[in-house]
Amino acid sequence: MDIQKLTDQLIRHEGIELKLYKCPQKKWSIGIGRNLEDRGITEEEARFLLSNDIEISIKELQRAFNWFHLLDDTRQMAVVDLHFNLGLNRLKTFKKTIGLIEEAIEGRVTWSQVSDELLDSRWATQVGQRAGRIADMMRLGGNYPHHEIS
């Protein structure tokens, strides 16, 4: 069977929807007729989407914050995690935290102060243990025991 011809035929018949929609059978769907209610997605597909989202997140953070590349890998991971959870616009409202990150990079404040500021937020109470882990990543940087993430 010619898979490319079949692909073209299914796209022609199903269309391509890049956002969630209700199909004629009233099932939530996406893409080229993917019935999310009955089929969902596989773990492999979820990881593929996550990989793309991480790439997007890193690019957005590099454009938004000229200091992002100056962070060590662990602190970059912490900021990506924050961005992933909050979105860029809400992350930008964490003005005191962002200011402290800039100052910590320049050595004017400690990373513990950045960590404490993150924990002193409504967000920290909303996300629970996630906030503690991200704050620890900020405080410890490369010394953070990554095996404790899972």
Mean per-residue pLDDT pooled into runs of 10, the chain (150 residues): 93 94 93 94 96 97 98 97 96 97 97 97 94 96 73
Q: How far apart are CA 50 and CA 52, in angstroms?
A: 5
* pLDDT for the residue 89: 97
pLDDT at 146: 73
pTM, two decimal places: 0.86
Q: Which amino acid, one-letter code, is at 138?
A: M
The three-state secondary structure class of 24 is coil
Distances in Å between the Cα of 56 and the Cα atoms of 44, 51, 83, 87, 103 are: 19, 9, 10, 11, 26
Residues 11 and 17: their CA atoms lie apart, in Å, by 10
The gap from C-alpha 78 to its chain's centroid, in whole angstroms, comes to 10
- Note the pLDDT of residue 113: 98
- Name the residue with tokens 């099932």: 27
Q: What is the structure's pLDDT at 10? A: 92
Position 63 scores a pLDDT of: 98
Q: What does the buried/exposed string (b/e) look like for 26-52 if buried means 16 or more CB atoms within 10 Å of the residue's CB?
A: eeebbbebbeeeeeeeeeeeeeeeeee
